[in-house]
Every structure is written in C-alpha cells, then in structure tokens.
Amino acid sequence: MLFRCKNCGGNIVYNPDKKAMCCPHCDSLDSEEKIEDSQAIVPSSRICASCGAPIELKEHTSATKCPSCGTYMVVDERVQGQFTPHLIIPFKISKDKAKELLHKEFDKRPFTPMGFLSNASIDKMEGTYVPFFMYDYKSDMNYRAVGTKVRTWSDSRYEYTETSYYDIIREMNANFNKVPVDASIEMDDKLMDLLEPYNYHELEEHQDKYLSGFMAEKYNMGEKSLTPRAEAKVKRDSHAMISETVSGYATVTQAQESIVPTKLAVDYALLPVWEYVFNYLGKDYKFQVNGQTGKVLGETPVSKPRVVGYGVTVFGMITILGFLIRMAMLVL
Ligand SMILES: [Zn+2]
Ligand SMILES: [Zn+2]
C-alpha cells in the first residue's frame, strides 16, 4: 500500500515534527488516501505504483522506498494477519534532527575520516522500524540471607567489638510491563539493548500510516524463541530490586535466592531507529539514533595515518609514568 495526496497526487509521509501525515509536495496535512496493493502477490518484489519500476524486497522487509522515484510503500501482507503489529512508537526525531545529533556527537572527535558526516553521505540515512516483542511478566521473589552489623568502642583498657547477626528475609512480587526484546535477526541484540531505554508509555496502537516515509521489518524470530531473553531480563531486574532493599550491613551471606518469572502477555511492537551506514576503506560502520529519544550510538572509523602518531605519543606518556612510580617506591 502507499499513501497518496488527495490534493496533488504526491506521496504522503508521516512527519515527526508535525506529528501528522504531511505532503512534502503541496504541504497539506492529513490529506492522505490509502491505496492498497492491487497486484498479484509475488514474495520478493513489487512494481512501484508511482513510476512502474520494479522494487526488490528483502525477506523480512515490510516497508521500503522505490529506488527509482523515492515513493515510500508498505508491503501489505507483511503488516497483516499474524504480522499485524499491536503497538508502535512513531518516529519523534525527524531526519534533520537525527543528522544534527550525529554532528553534535561526532564533529569534535579526533581521527574521523574525511566525508564521514558530509551531506551527500549522511543524506542516505533512513529511519527504520525494528520489530520487538514486549513481554508482561509477574515475578515471585524469595530471598534469605544473614547480615552482620559491627559496633566498636573502647575504654582505657580495652577495645570492644560487638557483632550482631540478622536474618534477612525478603518475599516480594512484582509485575514487569512491556519488557522489550528485538525480534530481528539482522539487528545486533547488544546494539538494541544499548539504544534503550525507550519511553514505553508512548506506545500507541499501531496504524499503517506511521510506516509511510520509513523502512520497516516484520518480526523474523518467534515470540517463543525470544522468551529466554525476556526472562533473563526479568530475573536480572528482580535480583537488582532485592539487592536494593538489602543495605546497611557490614557483611551479607546469601543463603537462598529464588526468582520465578511467569509470562502473562506478549505484544508485537515496532520501535523507531535512524540508521546511518558509512563505508570507510571497504568496511561498513553503522550508527544509530534512537528515533524517539535521540540517543546516539556508533563508533567512528579511525583514520589510519593519524592514529599512528597518536599511539606513539601515548606510549611515551606511559613510559614516563612508570618511571615516576618506580622513583616513588625507592624513596619509600
Ligand atoms: Zn500534496
Ligand atoms: Zn517508483
């Protein structure tokens, strides 16, 4: 499907600044008309409804852009039926804002190669919706430990030490709402964890129009296969919750800790990420901007000739430091 402007026939996209569907051609707001796919469904390609060019589809792509004319389209059967998203956080950071955030983060770093944030290069950045499962869990926690507190005082003859022993017992229950786990094979799990947190209270009921103007991927890992990752997060956070309540002791000897997570519900959600890929000396460097909060991730490629000079300087400094420490020890 695609969204067409009723006024001028142009391709309408979702505009994060205006929080509305906006026609980039005639500037009209909310004048979109949804045009459903009428072509016979071929899994790996589409014909662009605007210009007639063929559009290759990757296996999991659910929204993309025509490489010939730039029209944004949604792959109907990949956002319907079992693939209908329940929830979505629409993009809040616009492309211009995402560019600005990358500049702010990387402009001052040393050793970035020429062209890294040039307009021609950074303009290729695309917004992508990443598929997630959001798990609701109940967690039953049981914790036993022995803690000690030590008091010391003295008089003219003795120094006294008093050790008190405490039985620490914690029985807690907690509900965890919307624990996110990304459901994309292509997305690096660690990266997604680093892009968090999203503000999950801004999750909305999914609407197809939010995808217009962006790339998207349908889930390609099953909810069941991702359950262990959700459970591990619940256990980790439960453990942290208990630990927070045990404080003020000189020593704590844990006798028992049991955390039993129970899955209550699962939602399929799409979360927004800006992605910028920069190729330097044959290697792709990836940068991400959280499409809701603006958090920036990514390692700048290192420009080789300059780094050698830097390495030598650092080595020199380390040598001098070591020497100074040895001198100090001799004096002692
Ligand atoms: Zn228009
Ligand atoms: Zn086209």
Q: Which of 141, 44, 24, 37 lies closest to 94, judged by CA? A: 24
Phi first, then psi, for residue 139 (nearest 5°) are -125, 125
Contact 143, 170 (CB under 8 A): yes
d(CA 135, CA 223) in angstroms, rounded, equals 9
pLDDT tens profile 205-246: 999 999 999 999 999 999 999 999 999 999 998 998 888 888
pLDDT tens profile 287-318: 899 999 999 988 766 655 444 433 333 332 33
**Ligand sitting nearest the alpha carbon of 66:** 2
Q: Which two tokens stand for residue 110?
A: 């040393």
Q: pLDDT exceeding 90 applies to what percent of the chain?
A: 54
- Residue identified by tokens 């009428």 is 38
pLDDT at 301: 65
Confidence of residue 120 (pLDDT cuts 50, 70, 90): confident
- Amino acid of residue 225: S
User: Which segment of 95-104, 119-128, 264-273, 306-315 scores lowest on mean pLDDT?
Assistant: 306-315
pLDDT at 62: 96
- Amino acid of residue 168: I
Contact 147, 251 (CB under 8 A): yes
What is the Å distance from ligand 1's center to 21 Cα?
11
**pTM for the whole structure:** 0.81
Q: Backbone dihedral region of 70: left (phi > 0), alpha (psi from -120 to 50 degrees) or beta?
A: left
- Amino acid of residue 18: K
Question: Which residues lie near ion ligand 2 (Cβ < 5 Å)?
Answer: 48, 50-51, 53, 66, 68-69, 71
**Ligand sitting nearest the alpha carbon of 11:** 1
What is the Å distance from ligand 1's center to 27 Cα?
6
Q: For residue 223, with 0-12 CB atoms within 10 Å meaning exposed, 13-18 middle and 19 or more buried, which class applies? A: middle
Contact 157, 105 (CB under 8 A): no
d(CA 137, CA 262) in angstroms, rounded, equals 6
pLDDT at 308: 41
**Ligand sitting nearest the alpha carbon of 49:** 2
What is the Å distance from ligand 1's center to 276 Cα?
28
pLDDT at 331: 39
Question: 128 or 37: which carries more pLDDT confidence?
Answer: 128
Candidate ranges 9-18, 193-202, 277-286; pick with highest mean pLDDT:
9-18
pLDDT tens profile 67-114: 999 999 999 999 999 999 999 999 999 999 999 999 898 887 766 677
Look at residue 101 and give its three-state secondary structure.
helix
Q: pLDDT exceeding 70 applies to what percent of the chain?
A: 88
**What rounded mean pLDDT belongs to the chain?**
86
178 membership: H or E segment, kind and range: strand 159-182
What is the Å distance from ligand 2's center to 72 Cα?
8
